[in-house]
């Protein structure tokens, strides 16, 4: 087995271990929530017998480690339990919401990542020019405003005043992809404005950091154009930090969009989580938490693996 | 005029416009077609700046204050950027000091070597690759057909340096600037690279500017030598004239700097302070030292020499307690020595001190010198208050530094002053055994000589035992009593300095000694005819 294969496998194993640790923490956290779940759901007027029966039905009379192992076993079989509120299987509730969230995140990412990396490269190429300052200023202004504020501004101008886009992002795949993209444009744009600055500035910084290397001076002295210096000589050596910041922002697009979903009443995972927390629907809270953790860990592991593969020292041993 | 390059009144400056730092203060240089000009001087003399300016290139933050650089009839400093770019790599090319840092780690060698001919449309990809292979073989690179497929980290430093010279040759430029191309190499590698560079320059009739701080190296390469100091040209003359009859005092001082010798006639070697038997050490599974037997005589200097990778620094790490050996024992004054740093008592910690190669990185840039010296004094000798203050002052006197510098930070000191602070910090513990790791390698020759004199004086005064790690055999000859020659983690030879230098027995020692450039323009020819089998 080559060095890089060992490293990649090690990183994957570490990711799984992290996911396991997160599931444990999450379970313990919910365990420490104050109050008795069965009592709360049934209300104050329930008789102790009813409460006890309900506890037995939910399995709450079992010791915590048994319940954790039960739950973990269910997860491994793809069974996340049933919702306490509706009694329907959690997987049925989460499935369409996850698809919606991934759709919105993918929509935003497909525009934001190329835009941010492109702007970052151009800012590095023309650094300390008006373009560089303008791009930095614009990106920083966008990130400095809270996302709900950006969302309301966009609604005010693009929806209410200009009437270009709907205020509510009701998604209906049946009416075709163009309609779906149109309906979700405002939440996607909000997310783009929030994530571009971070990725752009990191790209610019990573490239400028590499530009100080002797091999960049060497490339210039070979008569290589500035654009080629940035794209061919600097970018491959700056990939690791760029990939990492991109992964971080992709993860944010999936797990951090609760506010945007609420503003546009978009039926995504974040909304589901908020509703489940307020109705104490613990199986859903646990399941959504696990999905978020898995997304976060997977993207970070992928970024790590991509940086390893981008490094010729690891790709080709000496 | 057949002049290829004419530099007139060139002045470059950096920093604020009101009080600029003047890097070049009006220099004139001329170069004929096919001629090799050597640029010599200490660091800060402006050699590299002048070399780059000869290509019309000034680094970011540097401004042209006055003067012109005329190459083939065009003033490079006034050309539009696009026109200059078409000259770079095509008619003007550059070979940098560190090939390892100057090759892009992300691309294969062949793609980098053929980039200039492809961009300048001198040759098709295929033709450029065939030409690169021919140049590789001319530079005596092993496996010229296959080496291009490798990445820079898969190729040794000496081979990279030759590949970079091949890269500079690909468009058959009129002028190549070599900026200290062999400074980072071991002597035995240096000799091969020097030979390859000279052959290539001669064969293609390329004019070159060869920059080096090492006169002996420049003497092998250059037709004419130009000595620079503080951004000015001190004198220029044909190589032989310059070596035999330098006119200026400064040039003569550069020439004589290697004359320092430790005064002779010392008593026969006393008992050893520290003895190692069968010392074996490894990094992980890679064994680096193989059963070394050695002794360091009390109050003497033992030099450990060898090429990079020979295990010199590993031995220092073992003795300093940073890398516990796998096997073998070390005896200190008759007692076994604790080899794990964490278990060493304060006595042992105090008695073994280190001086590092780069005082720049070994001193905390945010601490004043007073703080840097006070800490070890307090820690090891328990002095407080006035006694501490007095001791710190005394340390400054011992290393011949003005006490007024105590309130400065390392960044405000010169390289030589910083190294003296490094020495004072080692002395603060009142040690017996001092490990000096390449302490003069980063310094100019005049400054290095001052440091060597200081160390010899301190040894006589304080009875210190030095372990002196260096790749510079001239330094060894100057100050060592005893020499240990390491090759691939084994001691191939050890003995008194004169025995080693005058009657070397092991072939490796002989090769090492023969590879040290001499101040004689014919040295390279003789050294190569004597010993021209490729070792790379």
Quick: pLDDT tens for B270-319.
Answer: 788 999 999 999 988 889 999 999 999 999 999 999 888 889 989 999 99
Q: Domain boundary residue among B229, B259, B289?
A: B259
Q: What percentage of chain B reaches a pLDDT higher than 90? A: 63
Look up residue B144 and give its two tokens: 């010229």
pLDDT band of residue B259 (cuts 50, 70, 90) is low
DSSP state of B161: H
**Residue A221 to residue B90, Cβ atoms within 8 A:** no
Paired with B494 in beta bridges are: B484
The pLDDT score that the predictor gives to residue A314 is: 83
User: What is the 3-class SS of A109-164, one letter each residue?
Assistant: HHHHHHHHHHHHHHHHHCCCCHHHHHHHHHHHHHHHCCHHHHHHHHHHHHHHHCCC
Longest dimension (CA), chain A: 86
Contacts of B115 in chain A (CB under 8 A): 219, 222, 224
Q: Quick one: B396 and B298 in the same domain?
A: yes
Contacts of A221 in chain B (CB under 8 A): 55, 57, 88-89, 92-94
**Residue B85 to residue A214, Cβ atoms within 8 A:** no
Interchain contact B490–A (C-beta under 8 A): no
User: Which whole number is the average pLDDT over B256-266?
Assistant: 65
Contacts of B119 in chain A (CB under 8 A): 222-224, 228
Residue A39 belongs to a domain: no
The pLDDT score that the predictor gives to residue B210 is: 95
**Residue B102 to residue A214, Cβ atoms within 8 A:** yes
Q: Which helix (H) or strand (E) holds B169?
A: helix B157-169
**Residue B153 to residue A318, Cβ atoms within 8 A:** yes
At B156-196, the pLDDT tens digits run 888 899 999 999 999 999 999 999 888 878 888 888 889 88
Q: Which of A221, A237, A313 sits opposite B93 (nearest CB)?
A: A221
- To the nearest whole angstrom, how far is the Cα of A309 from the nearest Cα of chain B? 11
Residue B525 belongs to a domain: no
Give the total number of structural domains in chain A: 1
Q: Which of B59, B101, B115 sits opposite A222 (nearest CB)?
A: B115
Interchain contact A218–B (C-beta under 8 A): yes
SS3 content of chain B, % helix, strand, coil (to 5): 40, 25, 35
At A7-24, the pLDDT tens digits run 889 999 999 999 999 989
**Residue B88 to residue A222, Cβ atoms within 8 A:** yes
Q: Domain boundary residue among B259, B289, B318?
A: B259
Mean of pLDDT over chain B: 90
**Residue A222 to residue B59, Cβ atoms within 8 A:** no
The pLDDT score that the predictor gives to residue B4 is: 93
DSSP state of A89: B
Q: What percentage of chain B reaches a pLDDT higher than 70? A: 96
Interchain contact A225–B (C-beta under 8 A): yes
Interchain contact A36–B (C-beta under 8 A): no
Q: Give the least confident one: A44-58, B115-129, B511-525.
A: A44-58
Selection from A44-53, B67-76, B523-532 with the highest mean pLDDT? B67-76
The pLDDT score that the predictor gives to residue B2 is: 55
pLDDT at B532 over 50: no
**3-state secondary structure at position B378:** helix
What distance in Å separates the CA atoms of residue A56 and residue A64, rounded to the nearest whole number?
Answer: 13
Contacts of B106 in chain A (CB under 8 A): 233, 236-237, 310, 312
Q: Quick one: B181 and B321 in the same domain?
A: no
pLDDT at B530 over 80: no
Residue A222 belongs to a domain: yes
Residue B530 belongs to a domain: no
Contacts of A214 in chain B (CB under 8 A): 96, 98, 101-102
Residue A14 belongs to a domain: no
Contact B127, B170 (CB under 8 A): no
The pLDDT score that the predictor gives to residue A281 is: 83
The pLDDT score that the predictor gives to residue A42 is: 74
User: Which whole number is the average pLDDT over B250-279?
Assistant: 77
Provide the phi-psi class of A43: left if phi over 0, else alpha when psi is between -120 and 50, else beta: left
User: Which whole number is the average pLDDT over B107-126?
Assistant: 94
Mutation to test the B interface, candidates A212, A215, A229, most B Cβ within 10 Å: A215
pLDDT band of residue A173 (cuts 50, 70, 90) is low
Mean of pLDDT over chain A: 87
> Cβ–Cβ contacts within 10 Å for residue A118, how many?
12
The pLDDT score that the predictor gives to residue A259 is: 87
Contacts of A233 in chain B (CB under 8 A): 104, 106-107
Interchain contact A253–B (C-beta under 8 A): no
Q: Quick one: B280 and B410 in the same domain?
A: yes
**Residue B57 to residue A221, Cβ atoms within 8 A:** yes
The pLDDT score that the predictor gives to residue B536 is: 38
Interchain contact A220–B (C-beta under 8 A): yes
Give the total number of structural domains in chain B: 2
| CA angle (B239, B244, B249) in 5-degree steps | 95
The pLDDT score that the predictor gives to residue A174 is: 64
Between B60 and B433, the more confident residue is B433
Interchain contact B96–A (C-beta under 8 A): yes
Which among B457, B465, B476, B460 is positioned nearest to B353, based on CA atoms? B465
Residue keyed to tokens 């603060």: B428
At A217-274, the pLDDT tens digits run 999 999 999 999 999 999 999 999 999 999 999 999 988 888 888 888 888 898 899 8
pLDDT at B257 over 70: no
Q: Which of B87, B93, B154 sits opposite A316 (nearest CB)?
A: B154
DSSP state of B163: H
Contacts of A236 in chain B (CB under 8 A): 104, 106-107
pLDDT at B13 over 90: yes
**Residue A313 to residue B90, Cβ atoms within 8 A:** no
The pLDDT score that the predictor gives to residue B293 is: 95
DSSP state of B88: B
Residue A101 belongs to a domain: yes
Q: For residue A133, give the CATH number of its domain.
A: 1.10.3720.10
| CA angle (A187, A190, A195) in 5-degree steps | 125
pLDDT at A36 over 80: no
Domain enclosing residue A207, as ranges:
90-281
| CA angle (B342, B345, B350) in 5-degree steps | 100
Q: Which of A221, A228, A310 sits opposite B88 (nearest CB)?
A: A221
Mutation to test the B interface, candidates A127, A218, A230, most B Cβ within 10 Å: A218
Q: For chain A, where are the alpha helices, taking DSSP H only?
A: 3-31, 37-42, 48-58, 64-76, 90-125, 130-144, 147-154, 177-183, 185-211, 214-221, 226-228, 235-255, 258-263, 269-278, 282-310, 312-315
Q: Which of B86, B93, B151 sits opposite A312 (nearest CB)?
A: B151
Residue B519 belongs to a domain: no
Contact A201, A127 (CB under 8 A): no
Interchain contact B107–A (C-beta under 8 A): yes
The pLDDT score that the predictor gives to residue A309 is: 87
| CB within 8 Å of A73: residues ≥ 6 apart | none
Between A106 and A179, the more confident residue is A106
**3-state secondary structure at position A47:** coil
Q: Strand B433-437 and strand B465-470: pairing?
A: parallel
Contact B316, B333 (CB under 8 A): no
Interchain contact A101–B (C-beta under 8 A): no
pLDDT at B267 over 70: no
Contact B161, B106 (CB under 8 A): no
Closest residue in B to A229 (Cα–Cα): B104
pLDDT band of residue A189 (cuts 50, 70, 90) is very high
What distance in Å separates the CA atoms of residue A240 and residue A258, rounded to the nearest whole number?
Answer: 29
Interchain contact B156–A (C-beta under 8 A): no
**Residue B104 to residue A219, Cβ atoms within 8 A:** yes
**3-state secondary structure at position B15:** coil
Mutation to test the B interface, candidates A223, A228, A313, A318, most B Cβ within 10 Å: A223
Q: Quick one: B156 and B280 in the same domain?
A: no
The pLDDT score that the predictor gives to residue B1 is: 43
Closest residue in A to B179 (Cα–Cα): A218
Mutation to test the A interface, candidates B94, B97, B106, B156, most A Cβ within 10 Å: B106
What distance in Å separates the CA atoms of residue B61 and residue B464, rounded to the nearest whole number?
Answer: 46
**Residue A221 to residue B55, Cβ atoms within 8 A:** yes
Q: Quick one: B347 and B255 in the same domain?
A: no
Residue keyed to tokens 């038997």: B277
Interchain contact A78–B (C-beta under 8 A): no
Residue B66 belongs to a domain: yes
Residue B267 belongs to a domain: no
Q: Quick one: B379 and B496 in the same domain?
A: yes
Closest residue in B to A218 (Cα–Cα): B102
What distance in Å separates the CA atoms of residue B466 and residue A144, rounded to the nearest whole number?
Answer: 60
Residue A51 belongs to a domain: no
Q: Quick one: B352 and B320 in the same domain?
A: yes
Interchain contact A227–B (C-beta under 8 A): no
Q: What's phi and psi for B2, nearest 5 deg?
A: -90, 10
**Residue A215 to residue B55, Cβ atoms within 8 A:** no
| CB within 8 Å of A182: residues ≥ 6 apart | A165, A166
The pLDDT score that the predictor gives to residue A81 is: 81
Look up residue B184 and give its two tokens: 């980072």
**3-state secondary structure at position A213:** coil
Q: Quick one: B276 and B246 in the same domain?
A: no
- CA of residue B169 relative to chain centroid, distance: 25
Between B214 and B133, the more confident residue is B133
User: Which whole number is the average pLDDT over A176-199?
Assistant: 88
Q: Quick one: B324 and B194 in the same domain?
A: no
User: Which whole number is the average pLDDT over B513-525?
Assistant: 86
Contact B415, B359 (CB under 8 A): yes
Paired with B276 in beta bridges are: B294, B330
**Residue B85 to residue A225, Cβ atoms within 8 A:** yes
The pLDDT score that the predictor gives to residue B346 is: 84
- CA of residue B282 relative to chain centroid, distance: 27
Domain enclosing residue B497, as ranges:
272-505
Paired with A215 in beta bridges are: none
**Residue B96 to residue A219, Cβ atoms within 8 A:** no
What distance in Å separates the CA atoms of residue A224 and residue B107, rounded to the nearest whole number?
Answer: 15
User: Which whole number is the average pLDDT over B14-35?
Assistant: 91
Residue A213 belongs to a domain: yes
The pLDDT score that the predictor gives to residue B260 is: 72
**Residue A215 to residue B115, Cβ atoms within 8 A:** no
Mutation to test the A interface, candidates B53, B104, B173, most A Cβ within 10 Å: B104
Residue A241 belongs to a domain: yes
Contact B55, B226 (CB under 8 A): no
pLDDT at B252 over 90: no
The pLDDT score that the predictor gives to residue B315 is: 94
Contact B492, B485 (CB under 8 A): yes
The pLDDT score that the predictor gives to residue B302 is: 94
pLDDT band of residue A303 (cuts 50, 70, 90) is very high
ipTM > 0.85 for the complex: no
Q: Which helix (H) or strand (E) holds B209?
A: strand B207-212
Residue B527 belongs to a domain: no
What distance in Å separates the CA atoms of residue B442 and residue B356, rounded to the nearest whole number?
Answer: 10
- To the nearest whole angstrom, how far is the Cα of B468 from the nearest Cα of chain A? 31
**Residue A218 to residue B96, Cβ atoms within 8 A:** yes
Q: For residue B112, give the CATH number of its domain.
A: 3.40.50.300
- To the nearest whole angstrom, how far is the Cα of B153 from the nearest Cα of chain A? 7
The pLDDT score that the predictor gives to residue B268 is: 61
Q: Domain boundary residue among B232, B259, B286?
A: B259
The pLDDT score that the predictor gives to residue A209 is: 93
User: Which whole number is the average pLDDT over B239-244?
Assistant: 90
Q: Which of B103, B120, B153 sits opposite A215 (nearest CB)?
A: B103
Between B371 and A286, the more confident residue is B371
Residue B520 belongs to a domain: no
How many inter-chain contacts (A to B, CB under 8 Å) are there?
Answer: 74
Residue A148 belongs to a domain: yes
The pLDDT score that the predictor gives to residue B475 is: 87
- To the nearest whole angstrom, how far is the Cα of B154 from the nearest Cα of chain A? 5
pLDDT band of residue A1 (cuts 50, 70, 90) is low
Interchain contact B6–A (C-beta under 8 A): no
pLDDT band of residue B38 (cuts 50, 70, 90) is very high
């Amino acid at each position: 087995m080559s060095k890089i294969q060992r490293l990649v496998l090690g990183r994957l194993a570490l990711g799984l271990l992290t996911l396991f640790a997160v599931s444990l923490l999450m379970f313990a956290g919910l365990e420490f929530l104050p109050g008795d779940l069965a009592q709360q759901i049934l209300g104050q007027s329930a008789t102790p017998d009813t409460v006890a029966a309900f506890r037995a039905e939910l399995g709450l009379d079992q010791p915590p480690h048994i319940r954790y192992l039960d739950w973990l076993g269910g997860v491994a079989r793809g069974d996340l339990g049933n919702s306490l509120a509706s009694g329907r299987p959690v997987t049925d509730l989460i499935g369409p919401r996850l698809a919606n969230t991934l759709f919105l995140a993918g929509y935003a990412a497909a525009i934001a990542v190329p835009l941010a990396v492109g702007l970052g490269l151009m800012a590095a190429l023309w650094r300390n020019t008006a373009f560089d300052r303008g791009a930095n200023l614009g990106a920083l202004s966008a990130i400095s405003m809270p996302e709900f504020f950006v969302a309301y501004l966009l609604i005010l101008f693009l929806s209410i005043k200009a009437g270009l886009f709907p205020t509510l992002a009701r998604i209906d795949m049946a009416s075709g992809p163009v309609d779906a993209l149109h309906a979700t444009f405002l939440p996607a744009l909000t997310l783009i404005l929030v994530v571009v600055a971070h990725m752009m500035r990191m790209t610019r910084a990573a490239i400028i950091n590499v530009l100080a290397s002797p091999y960049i001076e060497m490339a210039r002295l070979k008569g290589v154009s500035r654009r080629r210096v940035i794209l061919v000589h600097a970018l491959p050596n700056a990939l690791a930090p760029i990939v990492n910041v991109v992964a971080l922002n992709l993860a944010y697009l999936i797990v951090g969009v609760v506010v945007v979903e609420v503003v546009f009443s978009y039926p995504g995972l974040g909304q589901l989580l908020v509703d489940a927390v307020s109705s104490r629907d613990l199986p859903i809270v646990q399941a959504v938490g696990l999905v978020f953790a898995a997304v976060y860990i997977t993207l970070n592991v992928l970024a790590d693996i991509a940086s390893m593969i981008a490094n010729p020292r690891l790709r080709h041993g000496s | 005029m057949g002049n290829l390059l004419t530099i007139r009144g060139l002045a470059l400056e950096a920093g604020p416009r009101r009080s600029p730092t003047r890097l070049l203060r009006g220099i004139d240089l001329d170069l004929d077609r096919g001629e090799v000009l050597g640029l010599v001087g200490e660091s800060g003399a402006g050699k590299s700046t002048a070399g780059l300016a000869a290509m019309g290139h000034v680094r970011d933050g540097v401004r042209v204050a006055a003067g012109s650089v005329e190459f083939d009839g065009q003033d490079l400093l006034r050309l539009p950027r696009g026109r200059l770019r078409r000259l770079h790599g095509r008619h003007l090319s550059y070979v940098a000091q560190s090939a390892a840092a100057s090759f892009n780690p992300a691309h294969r060698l062949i793609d980098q070597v053929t980039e200039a001919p492809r961009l300048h449309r001198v040759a098709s990809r295929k033709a450029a690759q065939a030409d690169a292979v021919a140049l590789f073989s001319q530079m005596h690179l092993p496996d010229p057909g296959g080496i291009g497929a490798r990445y820079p980290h898969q190729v040794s430093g000496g081979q990279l340096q030759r590949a970079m010279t091949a890269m500079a040759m690909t468009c058959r430029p009129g002028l190549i600037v070599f900026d200290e191309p062999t400074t980072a190499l071991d002597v035995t590698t240096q000799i091969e690279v020097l030979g390859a560079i000279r052959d290539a320059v001669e064969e293609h009739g390329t004019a070159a500017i060869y920059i080096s701080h090492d006169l002996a190296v420049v003497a092998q390469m250059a037709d004419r030598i130009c000595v620079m100091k503080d951004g000015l040209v001190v004198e220029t003359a044909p190589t032989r004239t310059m070596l035999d009859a330098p006119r200026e005092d400064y040039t003569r001082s550069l020439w004589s700097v290697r004359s320092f010798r430790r005064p002779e006639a010392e008593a026969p070697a006393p008992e050893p302070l520290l003895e190692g038997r069968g010392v074996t050490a490894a990094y992980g599974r890679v064994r680096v030292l193989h059963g070394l037997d050695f002794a360091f005589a009390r109050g003497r200097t033992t030099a450990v020499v060898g090429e990079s990778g020979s295990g010199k620094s590993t031995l220092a790490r073992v003795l300093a307690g940073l890398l516990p050996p796998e096997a073998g024992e070390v005896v200190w004054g008759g007692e076994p020595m604790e080899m794990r740093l964490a278990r060493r008592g304060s006595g042992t910690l105090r008695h073994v001190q280190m001086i590092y190669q780069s005082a720049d990185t070994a001193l905390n840039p945010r601490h004043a010198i007073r703080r840097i010296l006070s800490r070890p004094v307090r820690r090891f000798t328990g002095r407080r208050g006035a006694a501490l203050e007095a001791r710190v002052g005394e340390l400054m006197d011992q290393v011949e530094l003005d006490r007024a510098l105590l309130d400065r930070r390392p960044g405000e000191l010169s390289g030589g002053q910083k190294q003296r602070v490094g020495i004072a910090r080692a002395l603060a513990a009142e040690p017996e055994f001092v490990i000096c790791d390449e302490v003069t390698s980063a310094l100019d020759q005049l400054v290095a000589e001052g440091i060597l004199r200081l160390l010899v004086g301190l040894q006589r005064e304080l009875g210190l035992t030095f372990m002196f790690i260096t790749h510079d055999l001239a330094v060894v000859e100057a100050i060592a009593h005893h020499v240990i020659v390491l090759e691939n983690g084994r001691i191939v030879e050890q003995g008194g300095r004169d025995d080693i230098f005058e009657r070397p027995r092991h072939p490796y020692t002989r090769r090492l000694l023969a590879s040290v450039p001499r101040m004689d323009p014919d040295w390279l020819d003789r050294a190569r005819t004597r010993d021209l089998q490729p070792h790379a």
